[in-house]
Every structure is written in C-alpha cells, then in structure tokens.
Amino acid sequence: MAAKIQTSFCLPSFSIPRKKPYSNQFTISASKSISGRKLRAAVIGGGPAGSSAAEALASGGVETFLFERNPPSVAKPCGGAIPLCMLEEFDIPHHLIDRHVTRMRIFSPSNIAVDFGKTLKPDEFIAMLRREVLDSFLRSRAHAAGATAVSGLVTGLDLPAATNAPYIVHYTANGSSRRSLSVDVVIGADGANSRVAKAIGAGEYACAMAFQERIKLPDEKMAHYENLAEMYVGEDVSPDFYAWVFPKCDHVAVGTGTVRSKKAIKVYQRGIRERVNSKINGGKVIKVEAHPIPEHPRPIRVKGRVALVGDAAGYVTKCSGEGIYFAAKSGRVCGNAVVKASEGGERMIHEADLRREYLKPWDADYVSTFRFLDLLQRVFYGSNACREALVELCGDEYVQRMTFDSYLYKKLARGRVWDDAHLFFNTVGSLVRSNVLHTRMETFIL
Ligand SMILES: Cc1cc2nc3c(=O)[nH]c(=O)nc-3n(C[C@H](O)[C@H](O)[C@H](O)COP(=O)(O)OP(=O)(O)OC[C@H]3O[C@@H](n4cnc5c(N)ncnc54)[C@H](O)[C@@H]3O)c2cc1C
C-alpha cells in the first residue's frame, strides 16, 4: 500500500438561511464600561466547539469574531462518528452524513467477535461524517448568524492590565501580515494544543495519541463495511484503548490510540492492520493522520474573561474517545452563558459570570458521564483478560441497550433494578471466567 499524506475530498454543497437580525429579549442594565457599543468576543478555532460558540454569541447580540487558521478543505484528524441526538440538537442536515452505521462488531484479543447493535431500533444509527464537511457547515452557520470570519493563525494573546481593559488577540492573516484585535471576551476553542490555554496558564492535561489511515478499498471489500463499524481490543492493537475500522464515504478509517506508549503507536497501527488484513488487503492508503486526544479536563477552564471549550478544555470521554458532541455542546453552553451574563451583549462580564453560567451547569450535566467512562476504561482496558471479559459482556442485550441509549442520547441511561442486579452478576461472571478476579485475589493474598 502506498501512503500519501493529505488528499482533498469534494465538499457537498449546502445553503444556510441567514438568521433574522437579533431582537433584544433581555432587560438592559446599562454598564458604563461598554455603553454605546456591543460586547466584543473573539472565538479562537473554527471546529465544532468554536463554531457553535460563535453561532450562539452572534445570535445573542454579541459582536463576534471567529478565527480559523485552516481553509474549509482541511480536515481535523477524526473518526467522524457522532451520536443521533446531535443531528437534531444541532440541526445537522441528513445529506451531510456519509454512512448510517447500524452494526457494531467488537473483537476480543483472541478475535472472538460480538455483534453490538442488536438492540437498535429501526430509526436509530450512528452517523459517520467527514470532518471537513461537518466543520464547514457549522462554520457557515456561525457566519450566517452574524459572526465575522477571520482567516488567520492566532499567534498570541495579551491579557488585560486593568479590570475592564481589553484582551489583545495577535494573528497572522493570509500567512504573512501581522494584525491584532481588541476584545472583551475570549473563547479558546483551538483544540488539544490550545494557545489560549497556554496564554492564561490553564495547566496541562494527559493526552492519548491517535493515529489513523484512510484506506480506499476495492468495491467488494468496501461492501463489507456498508453499515458496519468494527472495534478491536488487545495488547497487540493498544495497551489502553481500542483500535477501529470506521466506514467513510468511499473509504474506511483504520486507526488506534494510546496514552501509555505513544512512541509505539506505529507498532499498534501495524497490529490493527494485521488483524484486519484479509478485509483491507488490496486497499490504497489515501491519507495518514495523527493527533492528540485529551484525557481529562484542564485544571483551569475559566480565567478572567477567557473560557476554554471542547478539546481545549479537555472534554473527550475516556473509553470511547468521543469529543465532537461535547465540543459543540460546550461551545454552545459557553456562548449562551456569555449572552445571558452580558444581557445580550449590553454589559461587561466577569469571571464569576462564566463560572456561574457556563462551568456550573456544564459540570452538573456531564461530570458523572466522564467519571463513569473513566472507570470503565480502567476496569476493562487493563489487561487482555479484562478485554475478553468486556467483549463477553458486550454480547448481553441489556448492556447493549444501556450503552447505546447512553451514547445516542447523551444521558446516562436509567436501568431496572432486576436487570442491574443481573448485569452485576454477569460482570462478575465474565471477569471470573476470564481469570481476572482469580488473579487479583491471588495478588491480594500474596
Ligand atoms: C484520530 C481521531 C479520531 C477521533 N474520532 C472521533 C470520533 O469518531 N467521534 C468523536 O466524537 N470524536 C472523535 N475524536 C475526537 C474529536 O476529533 C475532538 O474531540 C473534536 O474535534 C474536538 O473539537 P474542537 O472544536 O474542540 O477542536 P478541533 O476539532 O481540534 O478544532 C480546533 C480548531 O481550531 C483551529 N485552530 C487551532 N489553533 C489555532 C490558532 N492558533 N489560530 C486559529 N485557529 C486555530 C484548528 O485549525 C481547528 O479547526 C477523534 C480524535 C482523533 C485524533
């Protein structure tokens, strides 16, 4: 297979109706600090987090600038799987979807395969999109809502010297000319290597490294992945994550990730290639991509009038590595928070406003989801024996229904007491059969 870095894909066309001009629905309490003008916000990064934040800000009456360094054809390295609830919540048109995945198959270290989509209802599926398509759409919608597009790389951020003084965003436009813009509020949506996070001293987070090859398959092999996504677990493909084959418009994305052994990522990529060899041989690698995935939120997500959202904040779930929905949702929650606290862009906001209107509701809604998936990753990705137990459990219809309900609708599904007890005994049984509990007991006794 010949590798070629970067390939261009054609983007489907879409038209976005321009929103009605902002109508003021807030009680205005004039503040001297910005009287006679609107609150000004810079959103750094035009991924799902930034575009959703910019759309909320502009629709709510804040003067908004959306900075993005890349042209629309450049895709963020990503699997592109999004949950069903995102289509409705973010009004994403169905013609942007490449594949409707209704079958998931998970393979254990010993290659036992379990089908994982048996409980899906006829209208339920996982949507697979190309990121260049999704991101272009969300960006266009932010612009249609009134956000000004700034094509350029943000190179620095000066913090204000006094309480209500502006932040200065430095950027290079068109690759050369240096410019700056004064703003009242900054939203850092600039991904895992966030410069905004560095500028405010938000602290570091642990990252996984994900590696992915896009492989164009002969038609008969592509037919196998028509509506099927595969996940593989085992020491050969990752010491602490899973490897995947996801179907895209006219190719598959084959990849893996790891936190513990980033330097060995290519060894694990060889591992997944070997496992799926019979299904992908004859294919042609059309793109190779790698990118960090945050493992947990940053120590600081709000400082002064700066807020971090999406990957910049660290909102990717463990176990599944899912971040698109949480990026878009956190951007929207944060944008709405600024609109509410500024009373539609009429008054200055402060750190306490961002904490109260953005961080507090966000944490109340999602901290338990993130903690639960963290726990699952630690229990089930720890050794090959645990992974065998995980795959065995995935065969249980109750587990499948709870998992898909939680994933597709982004709510921790509520179970029934009897079924939960049954699940508990099944989990213990799977771990015992896989020799995990036995080994743990021996370690304990010794
Ligand atoms: C290989 C891989 C596979 C994945 N698969 C999935 C999946 O299937 N499903 C899922 O839900 N999640 C997946 N994720 C995670 C998902 O990609 C991220 O969580 C998501 O993209 C976060 O969105 P974001 O808007 O916060 O950041 P990003 O998507 O990273 O967007 C940041 C934007 O900011 C721009 N930018 C950065 N710095 C600057 C700067 N200085 N100036 C101007 N612009 C700047 C970038 O160009 C980019 O457009 C995957 C991640 C990887 C690496």
Q: How confident is the model at residue 418 (pLDDT cuts 50, 70, 90)?
A: low
Q: How confident is the model at residue 30 (pLDDT cuts 50, 70, 90)?
A: very low
Q: How confident is the model at residue 414 (pLDDT cuts 50, 70, 90)?
A: low
Q: Which residue has the higher pLDDT, 14 or 279?
A: 279
Residue 285 CB contacts under 8 Å (≥ 6 apart), including other chains: 1, 2, 3, 4, 213, 214, 215
Instruction: Give the Cβ contact number of residue 8 at 10 Å.
Output: 10
| Ligand 1 centroid to residue 390 C-alpha, Å | 28
pLDDT tens digit string along 237-282? 999 999 999 999 999 999 999 998 899 999 999 999 999 999 999 9
- The answer, yes or no, to whether residue 431 has pLDDT greater than 70, is no
Dist. CA 138–CA 92, nearest whole Å: 9
- What single letter denotes the amino acid at residue 329? K
Residue 369: its pLDDT value, please? 84
Ligand 1 pocket, residue 83 CB under 6 Å: no
| Ligand 1 centroid to residue 63 C-alpha, Å | 24
Dihedral, 380, 386, 390, 392 alpha carbons, nearest 10: -170
| Ligand 1 centroid to residue 322 C-alpha, Å | 11
Q: Where are the domains of the chain?
A: 34-77+132-204+296-369, 207-294, 378-445
Ligand 1 pocket, residue 241 CB under 6 Å: no
pLDDT tens digit string along 141-150? 999 999 999 9
Superfamily of domain covering 207-294: D-Amino Acid Oxidase, subunit A, domain 2 (3.30.9.10)
| Ligand 1 centroid to residue 185 C-alpha, Å | 22
Dist. CA 179–CA 372, nearest whole Å: 44
3-state secondary structure 256-316: EEECCCHHHHHHHHHHHHHHCHHHHCCCEEEEEEEEEEECCCCCCCEECCEEECHHHHCCC
Q: Which residue's CA is the closest to the ligand 1 atom numbered 45?
A: 45
Dihedral, 96, 248, 229, 403 alpha carbons, nearest 10: -30
Dist. CA 142–CA 135, nearest whole Å: 11
Ligand 1 pocket, residue 324 CB under 6 Å: yes
| Ligand 1 centroid to residue 76 C-alpha, Å | 6
Residue 311 CB contacts under 8 Å (≥ 6 apart), including other chains: 47, 49, 191, 192, 194, 293, 294, 323, 327
Give the full edge-to-edge strand order of the sheet including 126-128: 81-82, 126-128, 99-101
Ligand 1 pocket, residue 314 CB under 6 Å: no
Q: How confident is the model at residue 433 (pLDDT cuts 50, 70, 90)?
A: low
Dist. CA 334–CA 339, nearest whole Å: 9
Diameter of the chain by CA atoms?
Answer: 74
Give the pair of three-digit tokens for residue 393: 């459990």
Ligand 1 pocket, residue 290 CB under 6 Å: no
Ligand 1 pocket, residue 81 CB under 6 Å: yes
Dist. CA 66–CA 80, nearest whole Å: 22
Ligand 1 pocket, residue 386 CB under 6 Å: no
pLDDT tens digit string along 280-338? 999 999 999 999 999 999 999 999 999 999 999 999 998 889 999 999 999 999 999 99
Q: Which residue's CA is the closest to the ligand 1 atom numbered 3?
A: 78
Dist. CA 182–CA 350, nearest whole Å: 17
Mean pLDDT of 47-56: 98
Residue 331: its pLDDT value, please? 98
Report which ligand 1 atom has the smallest distance to the Cα of 311.
26
- Site to substitute for ligand 1 among 133, 190, 213, most atoms within 8 A of C-beta: 190
Ligand 1 pocket, residue 316 CB under 6 Å: yes
pLDDT tens digit string along 172-225? 987 779 999 999 999 999 999 999 999 999 999 999 999 999 999 999 999 999
| Beta pairing partners, 102 | none
- Whole-prediction pTM: 0.88
CATH of 34-77+132-204+296-369, one of 3.40.50.2000, 3.50.50.60, 3.40.228.10, 2.40.50.100: 3.50.50.60
Residue 425: its pLDDT value, please? 58
308 within 8 A of 194, measured Cβ to Cβ: yes
pLDDT tens digit string along 107-154? 999 999 999 888 899 999 999 999 999 999 999 999 999 999 999 999
Phi, psi for 79 (deg, rounded to 5): -75, -30
For residue 138, give the 3-state DSSP assignment. Answer: helix
Q: Which residue has the higher pLDDT, 403 or 59?
A: 59
- Site to substitute for ligand 1 among 136, 293, 325, 369, most atoms within 8 A of C-beta: 293
The structure tokens 């995102």 sit at 86
| Ligand 1 centroid to residue 312 C-alpha, Å | 9
Burial 20-57 (b: 16+ CB within 10 A, else e): eebeeeeeeeeeeebeeebbbbbbbbbbbbbbbbbbbb
Dist. CA 22–CA 17, nearest whole Å: 14
| Ligand 1 centroid to residue 207 C-alpha, Å | 13
- The answer, yes or no, to whether residue 16 has pLDDT greater than 70, is no
Average pLDDT over the chain, rounded to an integer = 87
